[in-house]
């Protein structure tokens, strides 16, 4: 019962016996079996009738190699015989099954001697619930009230097929995959008369053992009657009888027999003999739906006797229907601009450099004024559409109605308008009626035609420049019309655009202009700018033109409304950039990257034929980035994902300095008055020595830099790591640390990326974060360290500490500093700003009493795409919490509980937190050290704070010299039985962090103030930490939690635990969502900014 038989078409391929010859036929099968009989008890009188006994006698001791017979009435029909032959050629070892009919005629053997492949899989719902185990007749369809679609096992009798793969789920959890969907035609007997039946939306599931007729779907169009033994479906004048009983282990099923259309067609032709009685409606169908007079005349000529009454023919009525005429001119009268806007989307065959493929066109119903917007994706319509509508609103043009089709992006725009409070009515056109939106449809055709005309006139590509900005479109808004008193612009804004708003492009001449002879150039009008004004064309003076390179097919834009170019995606886009200045800078960056590779001897040129057979040739690609300081960076990266673990690389991990260590160093730097400098190791990953053999394809552009390269035959062997290789970071870190050790630097085991050297020049401390180094200490010591580093690595001095590990260090007016992450907040606002713009300003990230509870099995989860966005948003928030926003710790911890499956309710909570972050973008960690204060920690717990698993929440906040250096909000690892135990758990957590801080401070030779203070608001937890005794209520506590007792007892204790009132416990916001007053009162002690 755990197997299912799939029928194969060609049984000849199943011949697994080595003694079967090519000349053998199915008629010879009994003889073939006899020839392969190795048993000594063969009987010369054996014949075909003795075949089962014959095979049984051929059973020797080795069951796996025998030719055996299976006659199982529960699996196969009573008159079926099934042979199982071992499959020696199949690696799966599964047997080949041959089904035989007991009568061995040539015709029947070819029909029934079919090869089966046994394939392990779950039995579907019908098999489990009914006990049905055998294959059903192809012409039977089982009536199923649970099926939502009709289902066929193959495409016979089907037409209008379309490929549509989907998962068919059964009641027992099993699944099948459908391949195509279409219509199926068959014949059903209704009171002795065959009638045509067409089923729509039939799903094909290959390999299914039965055909299903969805009663649920049919009930929408008919009535079902049943007397317990027979079920009748009456639909559109046709009666379908489910009167074939199929016995099962649990009862029986009812099925209806449908005759194939091809069989009925043949019988119909045979029955049209002279004197044959044919129902007139049937004859009407056979004669191609001719009119009644014609078919009666035809029948008389053929000698066919027509019976019955001519019924109304539904196919004739549907086929002769015409679509209702749609007026070309709108019936309503539009009285002012913006009252009605027509909108549609078109795709651009050749997208611009910015990859803006989609053109969103708005046409005003009053003035015929057009507004063009562009986007990379259709979903961009929501963003650009809202911006455009809000901009119009500021110009006192209020859009009341937008007419468009019901595409998904238009629905999204409607929702966004509703959230923005724009009371715009969206009129959706009926399906298949583009005439209802003909204004914008015709405008698209007109504009595309003008684009081609301009291109033909100027010898350009027909779509050159389309999509580069929202105004680079031919415009007739300034053209006079005899039928209209005003131009489109005058109707729209009651002003003329004027020459100063025209956009121009140099006209291609195919010649390079140089020298100072000409101060102007021929231009091509590209459109009208709605954003900026420029000098008129005849007043424009162009400065001396001097270019190193100029291409006839890629010309410079002298004047354009918006001159922002996106970063190139490929080498060709960068090398042949349309803007000469951009092109020059990108080429300089590419040449520099190649120069660095060649000087450092990163690779060795070799031939592809010399690569060992067990090595893979990995690819590479260019990455282009404009840095925040204005530099253009071109980085050649290997496609490390194609490297083979264990062959192309071993270890990949590389440590970086901990964020707590960085804040410790900053606090010590300010207390001691140390100077500092940030250094960037340029092309750091090119310094790592490659320990494995790694071969890479030739990078794009190498043949433009060096001669002698054959990109088809040559490749490179990497001698050193490059960006993208799996081991690049680790190999660079190993080399850098080895070098620094050679130069006398010490390293602590507690922090592998913190270095220190004390010599005659003084003290210097270095924090290493990948290729960025923060040096602080005495000036002479810093300079000496810089000389050492620059002797082996190419560096770039970035000056005093202003930005490090993604954080900006901002100097305050009182001498203190603030840590913020403006770039990360900008990224969050860019990604999710539109989604939260409808929310009011938030005073706290999460309201008091709100908890995130994991969804149950019945809760609807987000789609995979929405879940990806959820994880992305929470990930960015976690990065904020790690470096500059401890006030978000508890709320982000709550959100992170459903990273694997969130709901719409969780998204709402997430949006609230994001809105709070955007509203408080200037808030950051306050760094204002006080040397009279040592290490002070606050810890707290929320007993059974998680509403789902009832685990408690730990939170702590640690200060060094009054500077917050470490914080955490974390769910405890197990359920605690009391609030004292939960607080004790929290003390153990903060003690581990304090131990790490002490080791770092000892390495820096700075006294943290021993013992370090820990403030707790639970007396019971303080007694547990200070006393080693164990009682009935504490003996179950995990041993690892007693770690704190070693730090709080004895003469050498390093921690002193003291009591603090709950309202003064600054870690309270790390364990629960508090009220507005409590939140701002506590967080203001360690944060600054609105």
pLDDT-derived band at 35, boundaries 50, 70, 90: very low
Q: Which domains does the chain have, with CATH numbers?
A: 3-120 (no CATH), 125-249+258-262 (2.40.70), 272-316 (no CATH), 340-480 (3.30.420.10), 587-805 (no CATH), 817-925 (no CATH), 930-1059 (3.30.420.10)
How many beta carbons lie within 10 A of that of residue 408, not counting itself? 10
Average of per-residue pLDDT across 64-74:
38
Q: Helix 381-394 crosses helix 408-419 at what angle (to 10 degrees)?
A: 40
Radius of gyration of the chain (CA): 40
In sign, the C-alpha dihedral spanning 387, 392, 394, 395 is positive
What rounded mean pLDDT belongs to the chain? Answer: 77
For residue 593, the model assigns a pLDDT of 92
Mean pLDDT of 709-738: 92
Ramachandran sector of residue 627 (left: φ over 0; alpha: ψ -120 to 50; beta: rest):
beta
| pLDDT for 325 | 58
What does DSSP assign to residue 975?
Answer: -
User: Which tokens hold the place of 608?
Assistant: 């592809």
Alpha carbon distance 536, 490 (integer Å): 20
Q: Is the pLDDT confidence value at 846 over 70?
A: yes
**What torsion, rounded to 10 degrees, do the Cα atoms 377, 378, 383, 389 define?**
140
Span 323-328, average pLDDT: 58
The pLDDT assigned to 42 comes to 45
Spatial neighbors of 858 by CB under 8 A, at least 6 apart, are none
Position with higher pLDDT, 1064 vs 243: 1064
**Separation in Å, CA 807 to CA 351, 772, 802, 884:** 37, 13, 8, 7
Mean pLDDT along residues 703-718: 89
Segment 953-968, tens digit of pLDDT: 999 999 999 999 999 9
Q: Show the DSSP H helices in 547-651 as ranges.
A: 571-575, 580-599
In this prediction, residues 868-878 reach a mean pLDDT of 96
- Tokens of residue 70, six digits: 């299976």
Closest by Cα among 70, 120, 124 to 97: 70
Task: State residue 924's pLDDT score.
Answer: 95
Model pLDDT, residue 736: 95
In tens, the pLDDT along 206-263 reads 877 788 888 877 777 666 777 667 888 887 778 888 888 888 777 788 888 888 875 4
Q: What angle do CA 114, 120, 121 make, to 5 degrees?
A: 110
Q: Residue count of the chain, please give it.
A: 1090
Q: Which of 914, 924, 920 is nearest to 833 (CA)?
A: 914
Beta carbons within 8 Å of 715's beta carbon, 6+ residues apart? 606, 607, 608, 611, 617, 695, 696, 697, 698
Separation between Cα atoms, residue 686 and residue 722, nearest integer Å: 5
Confidence of residue 654 (pLDDT cuts 50, 70, 90): confident
In the block, which residue shows the tokens 């990078």? 699
Confidence (pLDDT) at 195: 83
Local confidence band at 273 (pLDDT 50, 70, 90 cut-offs):
low
Q: Which residue bears the tokens 């090519």?
A: 22
Note the pLDDT of residue 135: 66
Q: Determine the pLDDT at residue 657.
A: 94
824 has pLDDT over 70:
yes
Backbone angles phi, psi at 116, to 5 degrees: -115, 150
* CA angle, 284 then 286 then 292, to 5°: 20
Helix, coil or strand: residue 573: helix
- Supply angle C-alpha 1072, 1073, 1078, rounded to 5: 105
Mean local confidence (pLDDT), 913-929: 95
Residue 747, number of CB atoms within 10 A of its CB: 17
pLDDT at 868: 94
d(Cα 351, Cα 349) in Å, to the nearest integer? 6
Tell me which of 887 and 457 has the higher pLDDT: 887
List, in sequence order, the alpha helices (H) in 850-933. Answer: 864-883, 889-895, 904-919
Query: How many whole angstroms separate alpha carbon 124 and alpha carbon 177?
Result: 12
Mean pLDDT of 893-922: 94
End-to-end Cα, the chain, rounded Å: 69
**pLDDT of the residue at 943:** 92
Q: What are the phi and psi torsion angles at 762 (to 5°)?
A: 120, -155
Lowest mean pLDDT among 488-502, 624-638, 991-1005: 488-502
pLDDT at 616: 86
Q: Is 559 left (phi over 0), alpha (psi -120 to 50) or beta?
A: beta
123 touches 227 (CB < 8 A): no
452-481 burial, b at 16+ Cβ within 10 Å, e below that, comes to eebbeebebeebbbbbbbbbbbbbbbbeee
Looking at residue 167, its pLDDT comes to 78
Nearest to 1090 by CA among 842, 807, 880: 842
> Residue 87 gets which letter from DSSP?
-
Q: pLDDT at residue 875 above 90?
A: yes
Residue 897: the pLDDT is 94
Identify the residue with better confidence: 74 or 935: 935
Q: Are strands 502-506 and 425-428 parallel, antiparallel or unpaired?
A: unpaired
What confidence tier does 838 reach under pLDDT thresholds 50, 70, 90? confident
pLDDT at 61 exceeding the cut of 60: no
Q: Is the dihedral of CA 189, 190, 191, 192 positive or negative?
A: negative
Question: What is the Cα–Cα distance from 434 to 343, expressed in whole angstroms?
Answer: 12
For residue 734, is pLDDT > 90?
yes
Higher pLDDT pick, 1 / 279:
279
Q: Which of 347, 399, 346, 349 is nearest to 369 (CA)?
A: 399
* Structure tokens belonging to residue 300: 């008389």
User: Are the C-beta atoms of 939 and 925 separated by less than 8 Å?
Assistant: no
pLDDT for 523 equals: 54
The average pLDDT across 266-291 equals 70
Whether 104 shows a pLDDT value over 60: the answer reads: no
pLDDT tens string 439-480: 888 888 888 777 777 666 655 554 445 555 444 565 555 455
- Indicate left, alpha or beta for 921 from its phi (over 0: left) and psi (-120 to 50: alpha): alpha
d(CA 198, CA 219): 15
> Do strands 502-506 and 523-528 pair parallel, antiparallel, or not at all (unpaired)?
antiparallel
pLDDT-derived band at 143 (thresholds 50, 70, 90) equals: confident
Give the DSSP letter string of 407-469: -HHHHHHHHHHHHTT---EEEEPPTT-GGGGHHHHHHHHHHHHHHHHHHHHHT--TTTTTTSS
Tens digits of residue pLDDT in 481-533: 445 556 556 666 544 444 444 444 555 444 444 433 444 455 555 455 444 43
Nearest to 603 by CA among 731, 448, 716: 716
Q: How far does Cα 248 stand from its chain's mean position?
A: 46
* pLDDT score of 18 more than 50: no
Place of tokens 């299912």: 4
Using alpha carbons only, what angle is made at residue 282 by residues 280 and 287, rounded to the nearest 5 degrees? 90
pLDDT above 70: percentage of residues in the chain: 72
> Given this model, what pLDDT does residue 99 score?
43
How does residue 372 score in pLDDT terms, banded at 50, 70 and 90? Answer: confident
Q: Distance (Å, rounded) from C-alpha 354 to C-alpha 351?
A: 8
- Mean pLDDT is lowest, of 283-297, 785-799, 1064-1078, for 283-297
Distance of CA 308 to the CA centre of its chain: 62
pLDDT of amino acid 768: 95
Helices (H) and strands (E) in the chain, counts: 27, 48
Burial label for 330, CB within 10 Å (0-12, 13-18, 19+), is middle
For the ranges 128-132, 524-528, 896-900, the lowest mean pLDDT is seen at 128-132
Does position 887 have pLDDT exceeding 90, yes or no?
A: yes
Top pLDDT among 413 and 269 is at 413
Residues whose CB is less than 8 angstroms from the CB of residue 548 and which lie 6 or more positions away in sequence, other chains included: 584
- Report the pLDDT value the prediction gives residue 441, as an integer from 0 to 100: 84
Model pLDDT, residue 409: 87
Q: What is the pLDDT of residues 1024-1051, one digit of tens each?
A: 888 776 666 676 777 677 778 888 877 7
Identify the pLDDT of residue 961. Answer: 94
pLDDT at 37: 43
User: Highest-confidence range of 15-24, 28-37, 58-67, 412-421, by mean pLDDT?
Assistant: 412-421
Which pair of structure tokens corresponds to residue 644? 């083979």
Bridge-partner residues for 620, per DSSP? 638
Give the pLDDT confidence score for residue 239 in this predicted structure.
84
DSSP-derived letter for residue 720 is B
Q: Give the C-alpha separation, 768 to 659, whole Å.
A: 11
Q: Is the pLDDT of residue 744 over 60?
A: yes
């Amino acid at each position: 019962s755990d197997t299912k038989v799939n029928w194969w078409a060609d049984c000849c391929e199943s011949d697994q016996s080595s003694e079967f010859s090519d000349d053998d036929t199915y008629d010879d099968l009994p003889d073939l079996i006899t020839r392969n009989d190795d048993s000594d008890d063969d009987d010369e009188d054996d014949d075909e009738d003795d075949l089962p006994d014959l095979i049984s006698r051929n059973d020797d001791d080795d069951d796996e190699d025998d030719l055996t017979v299976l006659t199982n009435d529960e699996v196969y029909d009573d008159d079926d015989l099934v042979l199982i032959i071992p499959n020696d050629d199949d690696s799966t070892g599964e047997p080949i099954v041959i089904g035989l009919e007991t009568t061995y005629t040539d015709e029947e053997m070819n029909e029934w001697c079919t090869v089966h492949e046994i394939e392990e899989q779950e039995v579907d719902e019908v098999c489990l619930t009914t006990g049905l185990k055998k294959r059903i007749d192809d012409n039977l369809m089982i009536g199923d009230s649970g099926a939502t679609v009709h289902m066929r096992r193959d495409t016979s009798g089907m037409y209008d097929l379309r490929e549509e793969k989907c998962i068919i789920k059964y009641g027992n959890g099993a699944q099948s995959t459908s391949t195509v969907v279409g219509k199926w035609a068959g014949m059903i007997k209704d009171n002795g008369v065959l009638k045509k039946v067409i089923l729509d939306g039939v799903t094909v599931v290959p390999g299914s053992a039965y055909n299903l007729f969805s009663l649920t779907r049919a009930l929408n169009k008919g009535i079902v009657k049943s007397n317990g033994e027979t079920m009748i479906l009456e639909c559109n004048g046709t009666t379908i009888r489910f009167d074939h009983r199929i016995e099962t282990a649990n009862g029986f099923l009812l099925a209806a027999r449908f005759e194939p259309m091809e069989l009925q067609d043949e019988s119909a032709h045979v029955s049209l003999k002279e004197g044959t009685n044919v129902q007139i409606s049937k004859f009407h169908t056979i004669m191609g739906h001719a009119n009644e007079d014609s078919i009666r005349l035809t029948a008389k000529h053929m000698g066919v006797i027509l019976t019955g009454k001519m019924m109304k023919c539904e196919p004739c009525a549907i086929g002769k229907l015409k679509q209702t005429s749609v007026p070309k001119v709108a019936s309503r009268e539009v009285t002012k601009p913006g009252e009605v806007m027509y909108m549609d989307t078109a795709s651009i065959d050749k997208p611009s450099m910015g990859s803006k493929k989609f053109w969103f066109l708005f046409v005003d119903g009053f003035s015929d004024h057009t507004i063009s917007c562009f986007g990379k994706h259709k979903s961009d319509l929501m963003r650009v559409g809202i911006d455009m509508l809000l901009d119009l609103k500021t110009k006192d043009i209020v859009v009341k109605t937008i007419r468009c089709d019901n595409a998904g992006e238009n629905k999204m725009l409607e929702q966004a308008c509703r959230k923005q409070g724009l009371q715009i009515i969206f009129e959706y056109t009926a399906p298949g009626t583009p005439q209802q939106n003909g204004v914008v449809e015709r405008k698209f055709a007109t504009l595309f035609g003008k684009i081609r005309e301009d291109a033909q006139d100027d010898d350009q590509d027909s779509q050159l420049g389309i999509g580069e900005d929202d105004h680079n479109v031919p415009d007739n808004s300034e053209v006079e019309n005899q039928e209209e008193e005003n131009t489109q612009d005058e109707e729209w804004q009651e002003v003329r655009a004027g020459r100063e708003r025209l956009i121009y492009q140099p006209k291609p001449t195919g010649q390079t202009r140089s020298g100072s002879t000409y101060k102007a150039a021929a231009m091509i009008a590209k459109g009208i700018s709605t954003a900026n004004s420029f000098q008129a064309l005849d007043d424009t003076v162009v400065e001396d033109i001097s270019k190193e390179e100029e291409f006839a097919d890629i010309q410079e834009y002298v004047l354009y409304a918006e001159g922002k170019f996106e970063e190139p995606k490929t080498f060709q886009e960068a090398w042949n950039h349309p803007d000469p200045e951009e092109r020059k800078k990108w080429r300089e960056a590419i040449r520099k990257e190649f120069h660095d590779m060649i000087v450092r001897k990163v690779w060795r040129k070799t031939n592809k034929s010399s690569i060992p057979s067990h090595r893979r040739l990995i690819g590479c690609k260019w990455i282009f980035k404009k840095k925040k300081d204005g530099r253009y960076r071109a980085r050649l990266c290997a496609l490390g994902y194609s490297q083979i673990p264990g062959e192309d690389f071993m270890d990949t991990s590389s440590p970086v300095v901990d964020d707590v260590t960085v804040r410790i160093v900053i606090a010590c730097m300010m207390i001691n008055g140390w100077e500092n400098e940030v250094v960037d190791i340029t092309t750091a990953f090119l310094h790592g020595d490659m320990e494995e053999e790694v071969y890479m394809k030739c990078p794009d552009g190498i043949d433009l830099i060096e001669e002698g390269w054959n990109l088809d035959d040559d490749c490179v062997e990497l001698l050193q790591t490059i960006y993208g290789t799996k081991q690049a970071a680790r190999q660079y870190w190993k080399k850098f640390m080895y070098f620094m050790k050679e130069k006398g630097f010490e390293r602590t085991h507690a922090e592998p990326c913190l270095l220190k050297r004390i010599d005659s020049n003084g003290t210097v401390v270095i924090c290493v974060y990948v290729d960025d180094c923060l040096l602080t200490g005495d000036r002479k010591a810093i300079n000496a360290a810089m000389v050492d580093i620059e002797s082996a690595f190419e560096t770039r001095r970035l000056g005093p500490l202003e930005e490090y590990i993604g954080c900006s260090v901002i100097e305050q007016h009182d001498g203190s500093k603030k840590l913020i992450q403006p770039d990360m907040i900008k990224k969050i606002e860019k990604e999710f700003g539109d989604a939260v713009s409808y929310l009011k300003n938030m005073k706290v990230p999460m309201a008091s009493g709100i908890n995130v509870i994991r969804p149950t099995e019945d809760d609807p989860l987000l789609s995979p795409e929405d879940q990806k966005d959820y994880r992305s948003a929470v990930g960015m928030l976690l990065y904020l919490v790690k470096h500059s926003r401890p006030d978000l710790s508890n709320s982000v911890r709550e959100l992170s509980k459903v990273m694997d499956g969130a709901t719409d309710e969780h998204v709402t909570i997430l949006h609230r937190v994001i809105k709070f972050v955007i509203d408080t973008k200037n808030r950051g960690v306050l760094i204002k050290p006080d040397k009279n204060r040592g290490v002070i920690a606050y810890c707290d717990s929320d007993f059974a704070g998680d509403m789902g698993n009832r685990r408690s929440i730990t939170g702590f906040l640690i200060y060094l010299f009054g500077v917050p250096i470490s914080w955490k909000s974390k769910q405890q690892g197990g359920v605690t039985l009391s609030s004292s135990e939960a607080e004790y758990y929290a003390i153990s957590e903060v003690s581990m962090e304090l131990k790490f801080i002490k080791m770092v401070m000892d390495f820096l030779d700075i006294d943290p103030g021993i013992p370090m203070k820990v403030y707790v608001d639970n007396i019971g937890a303080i007694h547990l930490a200070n006393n080693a005794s164990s009682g009935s209520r504490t003996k179950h506590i995990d041993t690892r939690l007693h770690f704190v007792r070693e730090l709080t007892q004895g003469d050498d204790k390093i921690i002193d635990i003291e009591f603090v009132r709950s309202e003064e416990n600054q870690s309270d916001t790390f364990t629960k969502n508090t009220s507005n007053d409590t939140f701002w009162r506590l967080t203001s002690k360690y944060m600054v900014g609105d």
